[in-house]
Amino acid sequence: MEEQQLAAARERLLQLRKEVLLEVNESLAAAKELGQDGVADIGDMSANTYHRDVLLNLNEVQRQKIRDIDAALERVGLGKYGICLRCEEQIEPRRMQVRPFSRYCIDCKTEIEKFGE
């Protein structure tokens, strides 16, 4: 990948990371607000607990996405961005456009999901 492409990928990853961190902060704020609006009955408490659990689980998904983005940024720095970690072939540019933190090409990702590597 050319230097200009790597720089563009790095900027895109940094912007994506910033957006995910903002989502995480908003999710945490929403989770903290649940149940803080007065005396709740058992139904309200149950619903609030469920919604809080959903928000906190979403937060974990977002944290994983940040870890994936950080790993992609590291690969940019090493000059290995866009290279499949399994077969070491170039990942299709279209895949990198859709999911800029991809670690694997489509074929390897499919195999990994199918056989659980």
Query: Distance between CA atoms of 101 and 91, rounded to whole angstroms?
Result: 11
Bridge partners for 90 per DSSP? 83
Domain edges within the chain: 1-81, 82-117
- In this structure, whether the domain defined by 1-81 belongs to CATH 1.20.120.910 is answered with yes
Question: What is the per-residue pLDDT for 50?
Answer: 66
Global pTM?
Answer: 0.72
**Residue 42 amino acid letter:** I
Per-residue pLDDT of the chain (117 residues; tens, 9 = 90+): 788 989 999 999 999 999 998 887 787 776 666 555 555 556 656 666 666 666 666 677 888 999 999 999 999 999 999 999 999 999 999 999 999 999 999 999 999 999 876
C-alpha closest to that of 73 among 21, 7, 22, 25:
7
